[in-house]
Structure 1
Amino acid sequence: FFPMAVLLGGLIGMGVLASNSELVVMQAAGLSRWNLITSAMKSAVVMIIVVMAVGEWITPVSESRAKELRTEAITGGSLFSSDKYVWAKDGDHFVSIGQVMSRDSLQEVTIYRFNDGLQLDSITNASGGFYEQNGWTLTQVTHTYFGADAITADVQPTWRWDSSLTPDKLGIVTVKPEALSIQGLQEYITYRANNKQDTSRYELALWRKVLQPVTVSVMLLMALSFIFGPLRSVTMGARIIMGVLTGFGFFITNEVFGPLSLVYNIPPVLGALLPSILFAAVAAALLSR
C-alpha cells in the first residue's frame, strides 16, 4: 500500500501549496509544470530507497520469524518450514515436502519410517499428491524397504496416505511470494525452473517488487496531474477522497492484471507493468490539458 500512501501524500502536500497559491507563484517565477514534477520526483527517491531496503532485508526476515513462531505455537513443533522444504512429524514418521502448492496440493513428498530401534525401515517417494476424502492420494509412488539382508522397491501409480497432516496445518507454512525478498524470489524461481515447475506466479511477484519504483513514480505523477488539473481548487477532503478512490482503483487493476497474465500466459513483466502504464497514460493526458 506504499504507492497509495505516496498518492495521498502527494495530493495533500501539493494540495496545500495549491490552496496557498504557492504553485501559481512558482510558475510565475519561471518554473514549468515539469520542473515542479521533477522536483517532487527527486524528493520521493529517498522514500523509495528506504522502502525497497525494508522490503528486501527487514520484512522477509520478520515475516519468516513470525511464521516460525506461529507454526510452532499452533503445531507444537511438529511442523517446520525451511527455505525450500517443509518438514513434519507425522506420528512415528518424518515427512519432507518439496512444495506446498496450495492447502490441498503437494509436490515432492518423501516419507521416512523408522523401527523401534530408530533404524530406517522404509522410504516412500512421491512426485505429488492431493487431499481428498480425509486423506492424501500420492502419485508416482516408489516404496523402498530396507530389510536385514536386502533392499527392495515397489512402484505404484497412486497410493493412499492417511496422515494427521491436514490442509489446515499445511496452510500455515504455504509460501507467499509477496513475503520473499527479490533475492529470495530469484533463488526460488531458479530452484523451481531446475525442477521443471511453473515459475510464472513467482516471476510476477519478482517483477512487482523490481518495478515498485516505477509504480511509486506513477502514483506521484497521478497526484500532481490531479493538483494541476481537476483538483486544483477543491477542498482537502475532496482531494483525499479522490486519492483513496484512485489508489483503490490502482490496487484493483493491479490485482486483476496479475492473475490475467498468468491465465493467458502473458509475460509476467507485462502483468506487473501494465497497470502502471495505464495510470501513467491517464496522468499524462491530464497534464497535457
Structure 2
Amino acid sequence: MNQLDRYVGRTVLVAILLVLGIIVGLDAFAAILNEAEDVSESYSFLNALSYVVLTLPGRFYEFIPFAALIGCLIGLGQLATTSELVVMRGAGVSVARLVWITMKPALVVAVAGILLGEYIAPKTQQLAESRRAIALNPGEGVAGKHGLWIREGDTFLHVNALEPNGVAYGITLVRFDEQQRMEWSLSAQRASFQRDHWVLERAVKTDFTRWATSVSEHTTLRWDTGITPDLLALEVLSPDQLPLDDLYRYGRYLMQQGLEADDFELAFWRKLLQPLAVAGLVLVAISFVFGPLRDGTMGFRIFAGVIVGIVFRTSQDLLGPSSLVFGFSPLYAALAPIAVCILAGLLLLSRAR
C-alpha cells in the first residue's frame, strides 16, 4: 500500500504543481502587460518586471486552492483514463482510502501555501509596493494618486511611499479640531523613524486661524505619534496579503480608533480556513472523478473544474462584502462556500459507492 500511496500521491502532486505554475505564469504575464501601461521615465520596464517578480509568492498563495482542484481532477482523471483506478478498486482499495491518498499531497501544498502566505509573500509584496510607489512618486511632498492614508485621532496622514527600513516619502499631515475645522496641515519630502518619534525633513507647515494663515518652513521637524513603520506597512498591503498576526493586531487597532475592521476580520478567517477550503475543493474533485465525470474526457474534467473554481471564488467574493453590508459574521461568509463544497463532495461520493 505504501507504494500505491506514493504513486497516486506523486501523480496528483505533479499535476497540482503543474497547474499552479501555468496559472501563476499566465497571471504574471497579464500583470506585466498591465504594469507596462505605467512605464515612464522614472518607472522603467525593469522596475515593472521587478515588481511582478516580487509579487510572485503572493500569486502562488492566491491560486493554491484553484490549482488543487484542477490538479486533482487532472491527476485522478489520468489514472481513470488508463483504468488504473478501476484496477485499484478491484484490488480492494476503498474509496475512502483513495480520498485520503489524494488529500495528502493537496494538504502538503496547502501547508506550504500557509508558510508562503505568512512569512514570505507579505514581505516581498511590501517591498514590491514600496519600490513601485517610490518610482512612480519619487520624493513628492503632496498627497497624490499613489500612497496610503491612515488616521490617528483627529490627525490624518498620507504617505506616498514607505521603505521596509522605516523611511517614508511624500508625507502629508492634516489636523482637525473638534468642530471638524482644519487646524494645520504639513507636508514633508521625507521622514525617518527614530525609536519613538518621526523626524520630518524639508517640512512646510501651514497653521490656520479664523482670519489668517501662517506658513513656516523647517529643515527637520520632530513628530511624536503612535504611528510606527510597522503600522504603516500594514496599510501598504491589502488585508488578503497580510499575515494572520498582523490582521489580528491591526483589526484591534482600527477598532480602538473607532474605524471599521470587518474587512480585516474577513481576511483573517479566509486565510485561517484556506487549508479547509483546499480540502473541500479536492473532495469535490475526487467525487467528480468517481461520480459524474468518471467516463468524461480530460478536457471536460478541466472545464468542470474551472466552473467549480469560478463559482467557489465568486461566492466568496459575494458573501464577503455581503457580510459587511448586512452585518452577519465574516466567519460565516468565509465558511459557507467551504461547507457547501464539503457537503456536495460527500454527497456525490456516497452515491459513487
Task: Give the TM-score taking structure 1 as reference length.
Answer: 0.71
What runs of 5+ residues in structure 1 fail to find an aligned partner? 79-88, 101-105, 112-122, 128-137, 146-151, 156-172
Residue pairs, 1:119-268, within 5 angstroms: 125-126=175-176, 140-141=180-181, 143=183, 175-268=237-330
Distance 1:267 1:236 in 2: 39
Alpha carbons of structure 1 residues 109 and 228: separation in structure 2 relative to 1, 3 Å: same
Q: More helix by proportion, 1 or 2?
A: 2
Q: Answer yes or no: is the 8 Å Cα contact 2:263–2:324 preserved in 1.
A: yes
2:116 alignment counterpart: 54
* Alignment of 1:75 onto 2:122: no
Report runs of 4+ in structure 1 exceeding 2 Å deviation.
96-100, 138-145, 152-155
The letter of the residue matching 1:126 is F
| Distance in 2 of aligned mates of 1:139 and 1:243 | 56
Give the percent of matched residue pairs that are identical in Structure 1 and Structure 2: 35
- Give deviations 1:212-241, integer Å, cap 9, x for gaps: 000000110010000000111111111111
Structure with more of its chain in strand, by fraction: 1
SS at match of 2:180: strand
Corresponding residue of 1:109: 156
CA displacement at 1:176 relative to structure 2: 1.3
Structure 1 vs Structure 2 CA RMSD:
2.9
Letter in 1 for 2:150: G
1:29 is displaced (CA, Å) by 2.0
What's the CA shift for 1:108? 3.8
Deviates more, 1:29-38 or 1:217-226: 29-38
The change in CA–CA distance for 1:142 and 1:221 in structure 2 (over 3 A counts) is same
**2:58 corresponds to 1:8:** no
- The structure whose RCO (Cα within 8 Å, separation 6+) is larger is 1
- Counterparts of 1:5 and 1:107 in 2: how far apart (Å)? 46
**Partners in 2 of 1:74 and 1:282 — Cα distance?**
48
Judge which range, 274-283 or 218-227, deviates more.
274-283
Shift in alpha-carbon separation, 1:208–1:110, aligned structure 2, 3 A = closer
TM-score normalised per structure 2: 0.59
**1:288, CA displacement in angstroms?**
1.5
Residue by residue, what CA displacement relative to the aligned partner does 1:178-224 show, whole Å, maximum 9, x if unpaired?
A: 12111221121121122222111110011100000000001100100
CA separation of 1:49 and 1:36: change in aligned 2, threshold 3 A: same
Which ranges in structure 2 are unaligned for 5 or more consecutive residues? 1-62, 159-172, 186-206, 211-234
Give the Cα–Cα distance (whole angstroms) in 2 for the partners of residues 39 and 214 of structure 1: 16
